[in-house]
């Protein structure tokens, strides 16, 4: 008997040693993040996770990196991978949690043992009162520009931001910033003027925009570019963009995506200037004293804030992520996905209306026809511009793909299921860098032949093959007899492998919003100023009219963000 027990004891010991294969060890594992592969290195002591480190990633600065900064520590602290994802950074969060799960398995442990939910936190909130000169709601481009400007003017500022990071929709901006008569343009011998920029913007917006606001944006645009240089965010190159008569869209060196670039430098500047930003804190109400705005109410998971301020700046962005709200103004947009970040819920519109603000052009909402629905990633117009076509579920073209966003979107909606496939080939992929992101993020289905591609996406293969052959003949003859396309026909689609991305229209930019004057003072429906209340950026309406041209969203937030900071500072004296 003793012998049997001894054998059992040693067998058990060996088993536990095998199960404890990762004792004192580290394991690494990789999962798909938003920007590509994300690798974690997880260290164990016995079965305890002692560290989680993200050793490789390509996540978006600010959004994805917040998950990287916060989740690993939480995993260690709670010894759990059953954690809430970081709001707005779901894909990055899942990549960290899934890679950690795999590392746990590799170490010989059972991931189910690391699934405990953390104990409920104490929900009792404490109250805090803060007194400042200026309270700003929203740490997107407009709010941060306003905060920097006001602080440079000696004012005491606080920013309230409901997300765990700064950036809002601003961080997603890729094109650049329109500005006229800049030193960058002068260096390149480009002749531009405030008048031309104003005219292009009004024309692009079907002459529905407020000419005074447009004029102020154009007049202040060159100075705004100079100012960005002074805070370490120079825009050094200029290029063409739709709707502009001359090369006017300004970009960082190398053409880097402007949104992430500006947000990074704005956040750095906020830190340098010591500006207080309360993240994970939602503003709920503008406090009024009679007619005047005198502060805001806000809350976080553990605090209820009363922020007394001499002036309030609304910089909460648009409402492109709030389906109920946009469908209430535009029933035809019900069911649309959005390209917007999850914080674009229009809180500022609601708060402003509650204190009597008027709304302008509220139903003017820009939609984008090629949005990958599962990830909300926008497939840039450049793909069609370089020769891609759109086909429906039957594998047939249905529209001239080069028409305006609203026309192509409407045609897509009319197809069975309301979606389409963007089809392109290897030649196009190699000529357009943007497509790489679609491939690494798993948006594309790829096959060596058209027939195989059709099978992979579930459309009729003879239809798709015949569509491609008809299209390639149209390109050869430079004559699209089916849909009358005349541009982006330089290359046919005949070099395998072939690619398809399933897309449908998505809400992109809410052009209408709170009524303001050229000093960014918020106006009532009757046009009276609401003293102490300012607004800037996508939360406002009137600048873009019926259509926003590319490069004007960034011009809007930098120019009017600064104007809000300046006028709020003058108001509080």
Site for ligand ADP in 398-417 (CB under 6 A): none
Minimum distance from CB of 202 to ligand ADP (Å)? Answer: 21
- Give dist(CA 148, CA 267) in Å, integer: 10
Task: Provide the mask over 297-326, with x wherever binding to ligand ADP is found by CB under 6 A and - wherever it is not.
Answer: ------------------xxx---------
Binding segment (CB under 6 A) for ligand ADP, from list 53-61, 132-140, 248-256, 402-410: 132-140
Minimum distance from CB of 152 to ligand ADP (Å)? Answer: 18
Strand partners, 293: 288
First-to-last C-alpha distance (Å) of the chain? 92
- Tokens read off for 131: 């007194």
Between 461-477 and 450-457, two packed helices, what is the crossing angle to 10 degrees? 130
Closer Cβ to ligand ADP, 108 or 205, answer by number:
205
**Among residues 264, 381, 538, 566, which is the contact residue for ligand ADP, using CB under 6 A?**
538
Of the candidates 176, 175, 141, 138, the residue with the CA atom closest to the CA atom of residue 159 = 138
CB 530, CB 293: distance < 8 Å: yes
Q: How far is CA 387 from CA 202, 308, 494, in A?
A: 30, 56, 11
**Among residues 214, 218, 557, 563, which is the contact residue for ligand ADP, using CB under 6 A?**
557
Closer Cβ to ligand ADP, 267 or 422, answer by number:
267
Minimum distance from CB of 231 to ligand ADP (Å)? Answer: 16
Known active-site residue 548: no
Task: Provide the mask over 136-155, with x wherever binding to ligand ADP is found by CB under 6 A and - wherever it is not.
Answer: -xxxxxxx------------
Site for ligand ADP in 152-211 (CB under 6 A): 160-163, 168-170
CB 220, CB 228: distance < 8 Å: no
- Give dist(CA 40, CA 120) in Å, integer: 27
Minimum distance from CB of 346 to ligand ADP (Å)? Answer: 8
- Give dist(CA 81, CA 111) in Å, integer: 8
Give the nearest residue (CB) to ligand ADP: 140
Closer Cβ to ligand ADP, 453 or 507, answer by number:
507
- Give dist(CA 266, CA 134) in Å, integer: 18
Closer Cβ to ligand ADP, 139 or 423, answer by number:
139
Strand order of the β-sheet with 48-56 is 26-32, 37-45, 48-56
The distance of Cα 532 from the centroid of its chain, to the nearest Å, equals 30
The distance of Cα 443 from the centroid of its chain, to the nearest Å, equals 17
Q: How many residues bind ligand ADP (CB under 6 A)?
A: 27
Minimum distance from CB of 12 to ligand ADP (Å)? Answer: 54
Does 537 bind ligand ADP (CB under 6 A)? Our answer is yes
Task: Provide the mask over 337-366, with x wherever binding to ligand ADP is found by CB under 6 A and - wherever it is not.
Answer: ------xx--xx------------------
Percent helix / strand / coil, the chain, rounded to 5 = 40, 25, 40
Minimum distance from CB of 169 to ligand ADP (Å)? Answer: 4
Does 512 bind ligand ADP (CB under 6 A)? Our answer is no
Catalytic residue among 330, 405, 548, 562: 405
Strand partners, 51: 43
Does 387 bind ligand ADP (CB under 6 A)? Our answer is no
Closer Cβ to ligand ADP, 283 or 500, answer by number:
283
- Tokens read off for 166: 């700064």
Query: What letters, b where the CB count within 10 A reaches 16 and e where it falls short, cover 215-249?
Result: bbbbbbbbebbebbeebebbbebbeebebbeebbb
Task: Provide the mask over 259-288, with x wherever binding to ligand ADP is found by CB under 6 A and - wherever it is not.
Answer: -----------------------xx-----
User: Which residues bind to ligand ADP, rule: CB under 6 A?
Assistant: 137-143, 160-163, 168-170, 282-283, 315-317, 343-344, 347-348, 537-539, 557
Catalytic residues: 405
């Amino acid at each position: 008997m003793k012998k049997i027990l001894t054998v059992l004891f040693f067998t058990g010991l060996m088993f536990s040693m095998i199960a404890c294969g990762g004792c004192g060890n580290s394991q690494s594992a990789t999962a798909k993040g938003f920007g590509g592969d994300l690798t974690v290195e997880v260290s164990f002591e016995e079965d305890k996770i002692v560290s989680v480190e993200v050793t490789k990633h390509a996540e978006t600065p600010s959004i994805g990196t917040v998950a990287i900064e916060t989740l690993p520590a939480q995993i260690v602290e709670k010894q759990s991978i059953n954690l809430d994802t970081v709001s707005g950074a779901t894909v990055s969060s899942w990549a960290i949690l899934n890679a950690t799960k795999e590392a746990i398995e590799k170490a010989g442990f059972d991931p189910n043992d690391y699934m405990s939910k953390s104990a409920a936190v104490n929900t009792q909130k404490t109250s805090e009162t803060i007194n400042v000169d200026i309270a700003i709601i929203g740490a997107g481009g407009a709010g941060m520009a306003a905060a920097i400007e006001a602080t440079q003017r000696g004012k005491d500022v606080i920013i309230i931001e409901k997300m765990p990071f700064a950036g809002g929709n601003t961080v997603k901006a890729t094109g650049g910033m329109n500005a006229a008569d800049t030193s960058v343009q002068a260096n390149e011998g480009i002749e531009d003027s405030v008048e031309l920029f104003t005219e292009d913007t009004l024309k692009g917006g079907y002459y529905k925009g407020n000419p005074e606001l447009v004029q102020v944006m154009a007049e202040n645009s060159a100075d705004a570019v100079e100012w960005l240089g002074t805070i370490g965010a120079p825009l050094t190159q200029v290029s063409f963009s739709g709707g502009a008569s001359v090369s006017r869209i300004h970009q960082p060196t190398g053409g880097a995506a402007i949104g992430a670039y500006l947000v990074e430098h704005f956040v750095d500047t906020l830190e340098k200037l010591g500006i207080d930003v309360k993240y994970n804190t939602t503003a709920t109400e503008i406090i009024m004293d009679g007619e005047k705005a005198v502060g805001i109410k806000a809350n976080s998971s553990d605090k209820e804030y009363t922020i007394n301020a001499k002036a309030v700046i609304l910089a909460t962005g648009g409402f492109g992520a709030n389906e109920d709200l946009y469908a209430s103004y535009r029933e035809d947009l019900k069911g649309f996905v959005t390209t917007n970040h999850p914080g674009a819920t229009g809180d500022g519109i609601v708060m402003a209306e509650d204190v009597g603000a008027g709304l302008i052009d509220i139903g003017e909402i820009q939609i984008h026809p090629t949005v990958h629905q599962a990830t909300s990633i926008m497939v840039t117009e450049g793909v069609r511009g370089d020769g891609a076509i759109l086909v429906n579920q039957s594998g047939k073209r249905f529209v001239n793909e080069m028409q305006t966003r609203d026309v192509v979107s409407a045609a897509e909606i009319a197809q069975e299921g309301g979606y389409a496939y963007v089809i392109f080939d290897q030649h196009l992929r190699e000529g357009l860098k943007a497509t790489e992101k679609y491939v690494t993020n798993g948006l594309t289905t790829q096959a060596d032949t058209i027939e195989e591609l059709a099978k992979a996406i579930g459309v009729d293969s003879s239809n798709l093959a015949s569509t491609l052959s008809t299209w390639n003949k149209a390109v050869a003859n430079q004559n699209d007899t089916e849909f009358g396309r005349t541009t982006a026909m330089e290359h046919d689609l005949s070099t395998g492998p072939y690619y398809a991305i399933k897309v449908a229209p998505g809400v992109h930019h809410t052009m209408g919003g709170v009524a303001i004057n050229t000093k960014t003072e918020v106006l009532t429906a009757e046009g009276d100023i609401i003293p102490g209340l300012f607004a800037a950026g996508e939360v406002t309406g009137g600048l873009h009219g019926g259509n926003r041209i590319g490069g004007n969203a960034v011009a809007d937030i930098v120019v009017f963000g600064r104007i809000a900071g300046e006028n709020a500072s003058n108001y509080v004296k």
